């Protein structure tokens, strides 16, 4: 890997999802059909720190990767897309800093998902204009995540939240692959 921040980007989803899995294991009362993932880290939950730490550590490593995406940005459009991603993972960290029950928690969660999907769209448009396969991939991951999250019939927030988290994780790995495959040498699209 060219930069430790790319490694941290690849580590972020694995670290976050693994610790959330541990939090689920530690709380046998958790029910996919009744709970939100944030219930695992609510202010009054024993060992809620595990879930909250997952989001804080995942956010920190994703922020490192976001700083790398900002550094390699070659245009204001790429910088815009990278900045949206940076804000998204910043709000991810706030979800853990302000656990369920705190007034900042819910807006942080909404902004995390909203900005993450917006950054996927922004990168998808930029990459599509530049005739890169990563453009349609980014938009495809975004659309699949949103459509699956919006399916009717979910009885709780946990399943659509997990679908969203897996979509964001898939997109991060797509971006890591992009960077590792030499995506930083972007063309202007006019060659």
In a domain, 134, yes or no: yes
In a domain, 190, yes or no: no
Instruction: Kindly report, residue by residue over 52-67, the tens digit of the pLDDT.
Output: 999 999 999 999 999 9
In a domain, 188, yes or no: no
In a domain, 40, yes or no: yes
Confidence of residue 184 (pLDDT cuts 50, 70, 90): very low
CA distances to 63, 103, 174 from 136, rounded to whole Å, are 24, 37, 11
Q: Which domain holds residue 101?
A: 4-180
In a domain, 78, yes or no: yes
Nearest to 59 by CA among 112, 120, 7: 112
In a domain, 87, yes or no: yes
* Domain count of the fold of the chain: 1
Nearest to 174 by CA among 150, 151, 153, 145: 145
Q: How far apart are CA 91 and CA 108, in angstroms?
A: 5
Instruction: Kindly report, residue by residue over 75-129, the tens digit of the pLDDT.
Output: 899 999 999 999 999 999 999 999 999 999 999 999 999 999 999 999 999 988 8
Widest CA span in the chain: 59
In a domain, 191, yes or no: no
In a domain, 170, yes or no: yes
Per-residue pLDDT at 44 exceeds 50: yes
């Amino acid at each position: 890997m060219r930069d430790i921040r790319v490694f941290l980007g690849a580590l972020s989803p694995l670290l976050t999802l693994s610790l959330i899995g541990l939090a689920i294991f530690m709380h046998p009362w958790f029910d996919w059909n009744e709970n939100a993932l944030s219930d695992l880290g609510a202010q009054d939950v024993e060992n809620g720190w595990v879930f909250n730490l997952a989001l804080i550590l995942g956010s920190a490593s994703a922020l490192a990767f976001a700083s790398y995406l900002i550094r390699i940005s070659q245009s204001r459009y790429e910088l815009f897309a990278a900045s949206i991603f940076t804000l998204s993972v910043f709000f991810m960290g706030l979800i853990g800093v302000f656990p369920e029950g705190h007034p900042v928690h819910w807006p942080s969660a909404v902004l995390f998902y909203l900005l993450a999907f917006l950054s996927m769209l922004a990168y998808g448009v930029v990459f599509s204009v530049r005739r890169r396969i990563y453009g349609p991939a980014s938009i495809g991951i975004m659309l699949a995540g949103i459509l699956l999250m919006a399916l009717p019939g979910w009885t709780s927030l946990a399943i659509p939240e997990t679908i969203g988290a897996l979509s964001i994780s898939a997109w991060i790995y797509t971006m890591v692959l992009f960077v590792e495959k030499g995506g930083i040498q972007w063309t202007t699209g006019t060659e």
